[in-house]
């Protein structure tokens, strides 16, 4: 590595105040989701920042008031050298009025060796540090043979399709780094999908007919959909226990693959037999599983449960899975992905971490989910790697270590430079 680049690594610490100010600037944009639809100004800031440093900007509304920004810096020899996506989300967790913050959540403050403010850990610290690394590279005038694509997306906190739309728009690369909260671990993740299971009667009955449905000789072939949903819920619990016994994945505690009955809706009013019942479930699955596979397993099991009931087998449950927004259509998908430990980008990222920190990185799995699943689902080798601890994300007095921000910036600076200087296939 040349001397000019080594001086850049020293600049990270010498220009620490600039990095901190950039974090503070991003925190000052109030972008909680929910309510969402509030990231336009922040995204314009990122677009202007990237444009200033030579990136071509693509900006479009995912929802009104919530645009994505993708900046593309074409390499000097794009066909021969590796390309890189750096991905992060601009939205942050909501702030409730009764939360006991010691500061204004959107006016970040330094206390000791941490920056406190909403989004510092999840994940405006990672966004700011990634942008600062790019700034240092561009100010140094260093040639970058491979492409660098920076994605500042919306909607991660509420399962919206910011990153998915980037993939659908055709943005791809030889590797994707998701700068989300990982405590500088290199991580894959399990997946999450939500779904609605509906039990519906073909007829509606007055509540006075209940006696004819449940007592001998009543002669009405009918049922209360809420009561029948209880059988579906029992079936889900049986499948959940079966998964806990038969499945596992390194780094996850036993039984981390769960089926949570989160919300139930049913019935019209007290004068009717409930003719419809809907159950909203949240399903967590392992990194080596796909959401399509999980859907198939659940549907097959529940249909078999229903076929064992005289009424349900004539009124089989219906399923709706996923969605593009927990706000708009009450549904989400976060695909799972595994870390390819022998992938050259993972080896290079691990080496960059070791060179900066003097320690081998932890390579494991995130206990939560991020947009990284969509990049991996699009066929892009991916990894989570970012500053901040998960215990601080979404918390009152959310915070990130300044030292970790500096280390992350140095690692990303080194990684970007070396990855886009590596020939494709090498």
Contacts 24+ apart (CB under 8 A), 108-113: 108/23, 108/24, 108/27, 108/28, 110/20, 110/402, 111/399, 113/401, 113/402, 113/403
Catalytic annotation, pick one of 11, 91, 151, 174: 91
91 given a catalytic annotation:
yes
Q: Which residues pair with 88 in a beta bridge?
A: 152
Give alpha helix (H) positions in 192-282. 210-214, 225-246
Give alpha helix (H) positions in 219-364. 225-246, 291-307, 344-357
HSE-up (13 A, CA, CB side) for residue 165: 24
Residues 6+ apart with CB under 8 A from 43: 59, 67, 68, 69, 90, 152, 154
- Residue matched to tokens 């001397």: 3
Farthest CA pair distance, the chain: 92
Catalytic annotation, pick one of 122, 147, 151, 156: 156
Instruction: Measure the CA–CA gap between 77 and 145, rounded to whole angstroms.
Output: 5
Residue 81, CA distances (Å) to 166, 383, 417, 425 in order: 22, 20, 11, 9
Q: Is 267 left (phi over 0), alpha (psi -120 to 50) or beta?
A: left
77 given a catalytic annotation:
no
Best CA proximity match to 328, nearest among 119, 142, 162, 120? 162
Specify the pairing of strand 148-153 against strand 84-89.
parallel
How far is Cα of residue 257 from the mean position of the Cα atoms in its chain? 17
Give alpha helix (H) positions in 140-181. 162-168
Where b means 16+ CB within 10 Å and e means fewer, 79-115 reads eebbbbbbbbbbbbbebeeeeeeeeebbebeeeeebb
Q: Which residues pair with 3 in a beta bridge?
A: none
- The size of the chain, in residues, is 426
Instruction: Measure the CA–CA gap between 315 and 227, rounded to whole angstroms.
Output: 13
Return the active site residues.
Answer: 91, 156
């Amino acid at each position: 590595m040349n001397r000019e680049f080594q001086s850049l690594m020293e600049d990270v610490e010498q220009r620490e105040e600039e990095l901190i100010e950039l974090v503070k600037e991003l925190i000052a944009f109030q972008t909680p989701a929910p309510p969402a639809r509030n990231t336009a100004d922040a995204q314009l800031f990122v677009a202007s920042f990237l444009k200033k440093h030579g990136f071509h900007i693509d900006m479009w509304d995912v929802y009104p008031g919530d645009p994505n920004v993708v900046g593309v810096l074409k390499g000097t020899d794009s066909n021969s050298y590796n390309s890189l996506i750096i991905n992060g989300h601009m939205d942050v967790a909501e702030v409730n009025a009764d939360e006991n913050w010691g500061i204004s959540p959107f006016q970040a403050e330094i206390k000791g060796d941490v920056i406190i403010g909403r989004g510092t850990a999840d994940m405006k610290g990672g966004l700011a540090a990634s942008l600062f690394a790019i700034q240092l590279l561009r100010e140094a005038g260093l040639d970058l043979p491979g492409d660098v694509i920076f994605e500042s997306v919306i909607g991660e906190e509420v399962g919206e399709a910011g990153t998915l739309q980037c993939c659908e728009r055709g943005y791809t690369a030889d590797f994707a780094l998701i700068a989300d909260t990982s405590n500088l671990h290199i991580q894959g993740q399990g997946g999450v999908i939500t779904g609605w299971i509906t039990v519906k009667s073909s007829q509606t009955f007055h509540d006075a007919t209940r006696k004819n449905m449940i007592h001998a000789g009543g002669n009405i072939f009918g049922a209360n959909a809420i009561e029948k949903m209880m059988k579906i819920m029992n079936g889900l619990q049986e499948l959940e226990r079966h998964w806990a016994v038969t499945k596992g994945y390194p780094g996850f505690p036993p039984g981390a693959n769960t089926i949570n009955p989160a919300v139930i809706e049913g019935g019209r009013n007290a004068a009717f037999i409930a003719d419809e019942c809907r159950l909203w479930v949240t399903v967590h699955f392992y990194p080596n599983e796909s959401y399509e596979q999980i859907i198939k397993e659940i549907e097959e099991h529940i249909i078999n449960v229903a076929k064992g009931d005289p009424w349900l087998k004539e009124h089989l449950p219906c399923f709706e899975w996923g969605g593009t927004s927990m706000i708009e259509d009450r549904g989400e998908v976060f695909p799972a992905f595994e870390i390819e430990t022998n992938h050259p980008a993972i080896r290079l990222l691990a080496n960059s971490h070791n060179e900066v920190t003097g320690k081998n990185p932890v390579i494991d799995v995130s206990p939560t989910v991020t947009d990284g699943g969509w990049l991996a689902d699009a066929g892009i080798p991916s990894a989570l790697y970012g500053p901040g601890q998960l215990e601080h994300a979404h918390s009152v007095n959310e915070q990130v270590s300044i030292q970790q921000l500096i280390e992350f910036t140095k690692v990303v600076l080194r990684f970007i430079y070396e990855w886009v200087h590596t020939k494709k296939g090498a």
